[in-house]
Amino acid sequence: MDFGLDGIPLNQPLTGVGHYTLELARALARIAPEDRFELVSPLPSLHLPDREAPSNLHVIQARVNSLSRRFWWQVGLPRYIKRSRFRLFHGTNYSVPLLKQCPTVVTIHDLSLLLWPQTHAQHLARRARWRLPLMARRADAIIVPSQSVKTEVCEHLGIADSTITVIPEAPRSSFWQVPIEETVGAMAKLVEQGKVRHLGLSEAGPQTIRRAHAVHPITAVQSEYSLWTRDYEADTIPVVRELALGFVAYYALGRGFLGGAFNDFAEIGEQEAKRRGPRFHRENFQRNATLLRELQSIAESKGCSVAQLALAWILHQGDFFVPIPGTSKIPHLETNAAAADIQLASTELAAIDRIFPREGGVSGARHAYDRSKELNI
C-alpha cells in the first residue's frame, strides 16, 4: 500500500473539487501502475465506474457510525493514514490531516470560501478561515488548477511560489460521456409519466440540440447571452430559431455590469466575487466602463435605465428570447419587466451594435480559464 487520496463525495463527480480529485487520482494511478492508490472516505456515496478505474486505484469506504462520521476527517483519517503507512497522502482543501503522519500534498481548488464567504454557507466559511491556512502551511506541496489560483494562494495564504504546482483541469466532458440521446430519452419518460411538461437544455451546442430534438421535442435552450456575451449568435441561436425553440438568456445583464451598478473599479468591493472574472479585472473594467458610458447616453435619450436598454436589446433579437436577469429586490424586478415596453428603432439597434459588437468590443475573456469544451457543446 503506497498512496492515499481523500475520497470526497463523488455522487456529484462532475462538479467542482469532486471531478478534479477524481481526475488526479486516475492520472496518478495510470502514471504509476506498479503502486497502489486508495480513495478513502467514510461516505457510502463514493463510487467509481469500472470502466473509469485503473486496476491499481481502489475505493475504500471507512467503517464509521453516523455520530463519528462528521469527525472522521479530523480524527479518523489521521488514524487511518498512520495505520495504513502511506508513503504519501493527498488531500483536498480541508481533508489534510492535522497530525503529520506522512508527506502530504494538498489540492486547493480555489479560495472562494476565504475571499467571498458571503457566497457560501456560514459554517463552511468559518471553517475555511482557520483550517485552510493551516493546511496550506503544513503541506509539503500544493496543487492548484490554474495560475490565477496560484497567485491567490501566494498573496492571501503567504505560501512560497516554489511550493505550488499548477495542474490544469481536464474538461468535464471527459468524464462519464453519456450520449445526449440517452439523456433526453430518460427525460422523455418523465414527460410520458406526467411528471414534467417540457424539456430544456442548458449550454448545448447546435449539434447537441438537433440530436436531442430528434429524440423528443425540446422547448427551450438556456445559455449566457447579453450585449457583452454574443458568442452563440454564430451557431447555436440560428439552430434555436430554425427549430422554433425558446432561448433563455441568463446573465442577461452581464453579471451586473450592464445594470450600471459599478461605474468605477473602486466601487467593486474586495470581497465581491465578480473580481474573479477577467472582464472585471482593473484594466479590462476601465475599458468596458467606457463602453457602458456610451450605452448610458443612448439609455438617457430613451428615458430608461441602462439595464432596461440592455434587456430591451435582447428582446429585439427575436420573439423567442427570454432574458432572466437576477435580482433580490422587487423595485428592480419591476423596472426589469418594464424593459418589454421599450421600442428600439433600427438606427438605435445599429448604434448599440457599434458599441458592443459580436466580437472584439469587450475587454477580457468570459471566464478565468478555457471552458470551450464544457459550454455550447
User: What rounded mean pLDDT belongs to the chain?
Assistant: 80
Q: What pLDDT, in 10s, does the model give residues 42-65?
A: 665 555 555 557 888 877 776 665
DSSP 38-89: EEEES-TT----GGG--TTEEEEE----HHHHTTIIIIIHHHHHHHHT-SEE
pLDDT (tens digit per residue) in 73-128: 667 777 777 777 777 777 765 656 666 667 778 888 788 778 777 767 777 788 78
Cβ proximity of 224 and 251 under 8 Å: yes
Cα 260 to the center of its chain, rounded Å: 24
Contact 17, 109 (CB under 8 A): yes
CA nearest to 199, candidates 142, 232, 242, 246: 246
The torsion defined by the Cα of 69, 12, 6 and 41, in degrees rounded to 10, comes to 30
Interval 320-353: pLDDT, tens: 999 999 888 899 899 999 999 999 999 999 999 9
pLDDT in tens, 206-225: 999 999 999 999 999 999 99
What does pTM read for this prediction? Answer: 0.65
Residue with cell 430519452: 185
Neighbours of 9 (CB within 10 A): 16
Least confident of 5-14, 82-91, 234-243, 301-310: 5-14
Q: How far is CA 79 from CA 72, 82, 280, 288, in A?
A: 9, 5, 45, 53
Q: Please give the pLDDT value at position 260.
A: 78
Using CA atoms, how far apart are residues 235 and 32, in angstroms rounded to an integer? 43
Pick the more confident residue, 301 or 94: 301
Residue 306 near residue 296 (C-beta atoms within 8 A): yes
Q: Which of 284, 291, 252, 255 is nearest to 272 (CA)?
A: 255
C-alpha cell at 21: 480529485
